[in-house]
Structure formats: C-alpha cells, structure tokens
Amino acid sequence: MSNRGSLGKKIFIGLMSVAMLTLILILAISTWRLFRLRDTLNRSLEASKNTTIRMSSLATKQQALENLRASADASADLCDEVFKQFKRSVETLAETAEQLYGDEEAYSYVSIARPDASNAGELTVQLLYSEKVDENDPAIQKEVGLLGNMQGTLLSVHKGYEPIVADCVATKSGIMMMADLISEAKFDENGNYLPYEADTRPWYKGVMETGETYFTPLSRDAHTEKVGIMCGAPVRKDNEIVAVAEAGMYLDELEDAVIKAAENQMEGTVICIVDRNGELVVSTAESGVFAIDFNNIYDLRTSENTEIALFIMQSLFGQKIVRDLKIDDEEYYAVSAPLQVVGWTYIILVPEKQVLSSTDNLASQLRDLNEEANQAAIANIRRMLTINMIAAVFVIVFTFVVARIVSNKLVTNIKGLTAKVKSIEGDNLDFKWENDTNDEIQTLAETFEAMTKRMQNYIDEVKTITAEKERIGAELNVATKIQADMLPSIFPAFPDRKDIDLYASMDPAKEVGGDFYDFFLVDDNHLALVMADVSGKGVPAALFMVIAKTLIKNHLQSEETVDMTLTLSNNQLAENNEEMLFVTAWISIVDLRTGEVHFADAGHETALVLHRDGTVDEIKPKKKRVPLAAMEGISYIEDTFNLGEGDTLFLYTDGVPEATDVNEELYGMDRLKSILKKNAVSSPEEILKSVRLDVDEFVGEAPQFDDLTMLAYRRK
C-alpha cells in the first residue's frame, strides 16, 4: 500500500471544479432549507390549530357537562317535589284511616253511596266491594260505617293536589272506598256493579310485600286503561296492616315538565325518567333505545348495549353519573340525577356533535388561515428559487468547461466505482474491483468489496433466523386462536334461558395457557360447570388442556356422575403421560330447579359461594383428592351443597389468589373474599371484571406469571 500514489495532485488539479460544485451544493442546500422552512411553518400552524381545537373542545365539553349537571339536578328536584306532594297526600289518607281504626268507638256510623252513573264527570266518593265479600255481613257493614267518616278527607286530598285522578282506601276485608270523576265506569254493560279486587293491583301488592309506602312502575288504570303511576301507603291496626290508602296520577305533569326542560336544551337532546325497575316512565325521544313503547316496556339494565345497561344500573343506585355513551350509532353526553322520593333517576342525553359544533366552526376558520399562510410561503419560495436558478445557470456553464478538462484525469475511476456501487441492490451484493489505479480509490474499492462479502453472510444469517421466528410466531398465533375458540366466550351464554346468569373469562400468561373452563346444559334442568388448571405453561400445557377438556365434557354429556367423570378422565389422562403433566379440576352439576349442586374436586382451589347479604362461604370437599393424571386408579368422591336464590358460585384457578406484586406478596384469599363481598349484588360479569381490576391494581407493574381464569354463576 505504501508504494501507491496519492490523490493530492489530482485534487489540486481539480480544485477549481470542486469550488464550482461546492457552489451548486450550497444553492441546493439553500433551496432544500427553504422547503424545510415551509414545511416547518405548516407543521407549526397545524399544531397550533390542533391545540386550539383540542383546548376549545375540552372547554366546550366541560362547560356543557357542568350545564347538564346543573340542569339535571334542578329538574330532578322539581320532579322530586311532585312525588313528595303525591306521597304526602297518600300518607295523609293512611294517617286518617289509622286514626279511625285506632279508636273505633269514638266515631259514629256514616253511610257511603254506591256508584251512580248519573254522577259522571263529578267528583264523588263511591263504595265498591270485592267479589268475595258478603255485603250484608254485620262486621262488613260496621267497617263500612267507620270508613264513611273519611269521605271528606278523600275529597280534600283529591282537590288539594291537582295531578291526582283518583284516591281510595282498600281494606284487607275487601271494602273499597274511592273518590274520582268516573262513576259511570263502575258498571258492566248490563248496568250491574263491577266488583273491585284491590288485592290484585300492583300498589296493593307492593304495600303488602314491603310494609311501607310504595310507588308502582307504569301501570294501567283498572277502570280507564290509561297509563300512570300509583302510590300506596299501609294502614295499620295493632301493628297489622288492615287496609291500604292509594292515589293515582297520570304522567301529564311529569311529561309537561320534561318537555319544557327539553325546550331549553340543544337540538337533539333527549330527556327521560327511568323507574326503579329500569323501565322508561317519561321520554322525549321519538325513536331508538330511549323511546317509549307502551306495548313493549322493558328493563334498560338488560339492554344489549352494555354501556347503556351499566349506566342505568349505576344511576339507579342513587349515584349522579356523567358519561359518554354511544346510542343508536351516535355519540352522546349522558348525565343522571337521582329522584330520591321514588328511587328513580332523571336522565339528560345530548348529542356530542351539537356540543362540539362551535369547535367545528373554529377548525374551519383555522384551516382557512393556514391555507393563506401556506400560499404566502409558496410565493416567497418561488421568488427565491428563481434567483437561485439564475445563479445556478452561470455556475453550471463555468463548471462544465472545467469538468471537461479534469474529467479524464480524476473522475473516470470514481464514476466506475460509483456505477458498481449503484448496481448493488436487493439481493445482488456481488462487488469486484478489477481496475489497478494504484491509489486511494483502489483501497476504497477493495475495502468495499470485503464489506459486501461480510454483508452477504450477515443477510443470509438474518434470513434464516427471521424465517424461523415467523414460523414459530405463526404457529403460536394459530394455537392462541384455537385455544380461545375452544372456550365458550359468547355472553349471555343461554339467551333463551332467563334462569341462568353466568359469565367466565380466561387471560393466559403466555400466548397459550393451561387453564380452562367450560359450561353447558346436560339437559333442560341441569347445568354443568367446569374449572381446571393444567400444570406448566405454553404449548404442552395447552395441548394437555384440550385433551382434558374434551374427556370431561364427553363424560358429563354422557350423563356420568361427577365423581365417575373424574375417575374415568384420570385413568385416561394418566396413560402414557411421559411429560408428567397433571390437571387440577373442580366440576359440578347444578339442578336449575332446586339449586342442589353435585360436585367433585381433583386437587383444585376451593370454590366460593357469595350470598346476597355479602357473606362468602368456602365449599370444601369431604376429602381432598390428587389432581388428574397424577396417579392411575384414584376414585374421586361426589359432594353436594345447595345454592339459594340470588347466591353466586365463584370458581377460579390459582392464578387469582397467587397473583404477586413487585414485593413478592400474594394477592391471597382475604383480598379475594373482600372484593366479592363488595359486589354481592353485581352481575356475574361485573363480579369478574371487579376481581380482575382489583388483582391488576394489586399486582401493579409486576409481570403476570400465571393464567387468570374465573367463572361466576348466579342462581336466579
């Protein structure tokens, strides 16, 4: 290398040409920077626009939500006042009746007239009987005479609160004293008195069941078939309910208040009231989920839209909720306020597009301003490019003359090297320099030739490694999909069965896991529940899981008992188990009619029963057995227990109590029971989500080292 020539003389000869080329390069860089400056300006304007729009959207949304909260609270207070007066009127009737029953001897006999059709349209008090009552019974006549003393109270209550369309007192003995304007509706087509069976009416049943003042959901009037709400209050004698005071009102006043409130809201706003049963009472919606159809009133908490169902459920717990909802393919801001008197909720829904319409106008104006600035920048760049092009023409002419002189002395070999380098593309990395220039160009070419050979070897290695990784990744993706498809994951699992409320989930620690659950109907009256955990992780555990799940399900569907199912499955799994895998399992058959549960345990985690009162019981077998596939010839034992109505059976794998935080502390059974108690009245789906959220919060940044699998079944 030392005897080779130097490029110093060649560079000196071409110095002038390099100077010209440098000038061209400067012009090119100048032009490039001008365009970069334009792009930077555009990005700055765009960022400014986006920030302005975002801040405007946030401020607009915040102000809108504050207005909605205030509007919902104020409207809910007005509605509460309506119900307070309504409730106060009914309880006044009940108090008056209790005074009569409490001191019967102090009151004289006062007769009550039977309905008279000629009094149609006049407010009168009428006496009605149940079909089961003997009107001539002296005890009945005495009670009628006693109640006759409160005819004035009935009339006063009716006149004192305008929304009331009828008020009455119905006794346990079958007497009905009613004040209304429709005397003519008390007769059949032949002119005979119609009996009145108060004990079949929802207000009467509600008071008898709760023992306190009771508001009905939407109900039809017994005489007019109009829809309204009724309120009943107990009348006691010696601590025993002897009668029920009641008043009814149509929804006109509530509807007027809701419609009037809607007039002050944005276009498209929906205002509605939902009762304690999750059913719409009043709504301004003309179509969609929140429109009222009196022929198809249903509980919104059971809506297929889980966001709506959860929103209604939380609102009826007495909470003030503010949330974004997607309703009928449109985004809404939703606000609720509780109606304290009746336990209902007042809801306002505002379309997001209406709230953000002012922000859209601002965005349009900013886009116009940005376009003007961009056009101005382009005009300046064009002027600068014109100047640069004129200068470049002079430089090019001069450089061309110089380049012609020095090209044969300097550039020829460089062009040859450049051409060979340009020919290297894609998989073509062959490079060989054959010219003997005896200078630094040859040194560079030889170095490049060695580099391309090393690069070719490296690319071959990378291709091999990449192909193997892609193959393994593809197989794991397929395995994950197959495993997920094997577990039932569509909920509700039995949409036609209203007596089954069930939810399950499985989150593997790796691409595929060893945990599995299963549930299916053995017949119309028996439900099978399975929870299991295969030792180990990854593909081997997943394959063993598939076999175990299939065996257990086949035996249960063949109407084998739970103990025989585990015994047979154990013997089959233990055959040729060279990998020494095993399965802990808890299986059961639930009698959907009685709540009796037959179960067998193969070394699995203890099942838990969550009662409606918040208590949690551990369901332990009489005798613990080893996991499946651990040993042949094991006989498993069947145990039983009963699920009460509203009780929830909670099954899980060890990944839940053994979840570990960064301090290596276990989640544990105490935390698990605690979160279950807090969700005693929650649905199975909400129970599982609450447990998973609690585990995630406990674990924090620690990695998940075991599968998390859970199943909850509530007996309805």
> What is the SS3 assignment for 244?
strand
Residues sharing a CB contact under 8 Å with residue 529, sequence separation 6 or more, in sequence order = 518, 519, 587, 588, 590, 649, 651, 711, 713
Q: What is the pLDDT of residue 1?
A: 45
Asked if the domains 103-250 and 487-715 are classified in one and the same CATH topology, the answer is no
Q: What is the pLDDT of residue 426?
A: 59
Q: What is the C-alpha separation between 310 and 318, in angstroms, rounded?
A: 13
Domain boundaries, the chain: 103-250, 253-353, 487-715
Q: What is the C-alpha separation between 204 and 227, in angstroms, rounded?
A: 17
Q: Does domain 103-250 have CATH number 3.30.365.10?
A: no
Q: What is the pLDDT of residue 512?
A: 56
Alpha carbon 441 to its chain centroid, in Å, reads: 69
pLDDT at 503 over 80: yes
More confident position, 218 or 193: 193
How crowded is residue 390: how many other Cβ atoms within 10 Å of its Cβ? 9
Question: How many residues are recorded in the chain?
Answer: 716
More confident position, 175 or 427: 175
Q: What is the pLDDT of residue 417?
A: 65
The CATH label, of 3.60.40.10, 3.30.450.20, 3.30.420.40, 3.40.50.880, for the domain at 487-715 is: 3.60.40.10
Q: Average the pLDDT over 11-34 and give the result.
A: 68
Residues sharing a CB contact under 8 Å with residue 353, sequence separation 6 or more, in sequence order = 330, 331
Whether residue 487 contacts residue 506, with contact meaning beta carbons closer than 8 Å, is answered with yes
Residue entry with tokens 């070719």: 456
Specify the CATH superfamily of domain 253-353.
PAS domain (3.30.450.20)
The least confident of 185-199, 289-303, 672-686 is 289-303
Highest mean pLDDT among 9-23, 264-278, 482-496, 558-572: 558-572
Whether residue 222 contacts residue 241, with contact meaning beta carbons closer than 8 Å, is answered with no
Q: What is the pLDDT of residue 466?
A: 63
Q: What is the pLDDT of residue 16?
A: 61
Q: What is the band of 602 on the pLDDT scale with cuts at 50, 70, 90?
A: very high
pLDDT at 223 over 80: no
Give tens-digit pLDDT for 464-476.
776 666 665 555 5
Q: What is the pLDDT of residue 510?
A: 64
Portion of the chain with pLDDT greater than 90, in percent: 43
Whether residue 505 contacts residue 688, with contact meaning beta carbons closer than 8 Å, is answered with yes
Tokens of 416: 């040859």
pLDDT at 7 over 90: no
Q: What is the band of 680 on the pLDDT scale with cuts at 50, 70, 90?
A: very high
Q: Are strands 515-523 and 124-129 parallel, antiparallel or unpaired?
A: unpaired
Cα–Cα distances (Å) from 202 to 205, 214, 240, 514, in that order, read: 5, 9, 20, 52
Considering only CA atoms, give the Rg of the chain.
42
Give tens-digit pLDDT for 375-427.
776 777 777 767 767 766 666 666 666 555 655 555 566 666 676 666 666 55
Q: What is the C-alpha separation between 326 and 333, in angstroms, rounded?
A: 9
The least confident of 179-183, 233-237, 433-437 is 433-437
Give tens-digit pLDDT for 704-715.
777 889 999 999
Give tens-digit pLDDT for 488-502.
989 998 999 988 999
Q: What is the C-alpha separation between 628 and 621, in angstroms, rounded?
A: 16
- What's the count of helices (H) and strands (E) in the chain, helices before strands? 15, 22
Averaged pLDDT score across all residues of the chain: 83
Which H or E run includes 459? helix 440-486
Is the torsion defined by CA of 176, 182, 188, 193 positive or negative? positive
Q: What is the band of 2 on the pLDDT scale with cuts at 50, 70, 90?
A: very low
* Residue 198 DSSP class: G
pLDDT at 288 over 60: yes
Neighbouring-strand partners of residue 250 = 228
Residue entry with tokens 């090019």: 396
Cα–Cα distances (Å) from 404 to 16, 399, 401, in that order, read: 12, 9, 5
Is 644 exposed, middle or buried, given 0-12, 13-18 or 19+ CB atoms closer than 10 A?
exposed
Nearest CA-CA partner of 188 in 269, 131, 248: 131
Q: Where in 330-392 does DSSP place strands (E)? A: 330-339, 344-351
